[in-house]
Copies of this chain bind each other. A is one copy, B any other.
Amino acid sequence: MQTSSARTMTKEEHSLEQLLAMVRDERLELGSRLPTERTLAEEFGTSRNTIRSALRVLEARGMVEVRPGSGCYLRSREPHNGLCLRGSGNPDWSAVLEACYVVFPPIAALSTERITAGQIATLEARLMDLSKALFARNPDALREHMSAFLRGLAEGTDNPMLAAVAAQLCPGTSPLHEIVFFLQDYEREALFGDHAKILQAMKRRDAQEVRRCMEERILRLSLLLERHADVPPSPLLRSERERLEVFA
């Protein structure tokens, strides 16, 4: 047992909590801009340094995106245990997709055998949100709800380690929110359909079909990212695309 309780919270931790409260406040829409660092410093009664450090933590968790000269934007209300953050260069989206292709299908298959009816209902709600964001061309909401769908799916395994792995691979930022504007209608339909098929197969407890649909979903995502965002597929994804004949 450590000392814990007696320790007073530093101003930065206090600022971080206030920022978290602000982030979780539903009145602030995803993608909207937070107050400026100078404003936050004044509001919280602290200095800009302190605010900046606190923002770094939120940024590291993928909850906000800080853009020089522009401002600080809300990206997610939940932390994404991402390795996809500043430093070590930009994330290699090719590698992220490939990693998803390796780990998500088996996770989804296992989840199919264990997920509860209540969790499935939650996933259906996520799917509706996802669909809405997709057709409303809201990139931030799309990323948020797509991540939530995948995390909820992984939580169906009832294995916190697998849920953590899935959360780690659901990046706080991705080129996906850029391409949502450029997608054709049939591409939107296909993307939504992939998720819907996964959910349908889960309700039938068809683990093998879930695995197949998840593979297809990731391959299609790779295809769309290649087409609209110049993200090349890894050799594995390229060959798998041909093997499973995922084109449209």
A53 in complex: contacting residue of B53, B84, B164, CB < 8 Å: B53
Interface residues of A in 124-173 (CB under 8 A from B): 159-165, 167-169
> Across the interface, do B162 and A165 meet the contact criterion of CB distance under 8 Å?
no
- A65-87 vs B, CB cutoff 8 Å, 1 = contact: the mask equals 00010000000000101111111
Taking the nearest CB of chain B, how far is it from the CB of A9, in angstroms? 8
> Across the interface, do A110 and B102 meet the contact criterion of CB distance under 8 Å?
yes
A184 within 8 Å of B (CB atoms): no
By a CB distance below 8 angstroms, the chain B residues around A242 are none
A99 in complex: contacting residue of B49, B61, B159, CB < 8 Å: B159
Copies of this chain in its oligomeric complex: 2
> Across the interface, do A1 and B88 meet the contact criterion of CB distance under 8 Å?
no
By size class, the interface of chain A is 35 or more
By a CB distance below 8 angstroms, the chain B residues around A59 are 57
By a CB distance below 8 angstroms, the chain B residues around A98 are 159, 161-162
Taking the nearest CB of chain B, how far is it from the CB of A232, in angstroms? 7
Interface residues of A (CB under 8 A from B): 1-3, 5, 7, 9-10, 12-13, 16-17, 20, 49, 52-54, 56-57, 59-61, 68, 79, 81-90, 92-93, 95-96, 98-99, 102-103, 106-107, 110, 159-165, 167-169, 175, 178, 229-232, 234, 236
Q: Pick the 5 closest A-B CB pairs, nearest first.
A: A81-B81, A16-B87, A99-B161, A83-B164, A60-B60
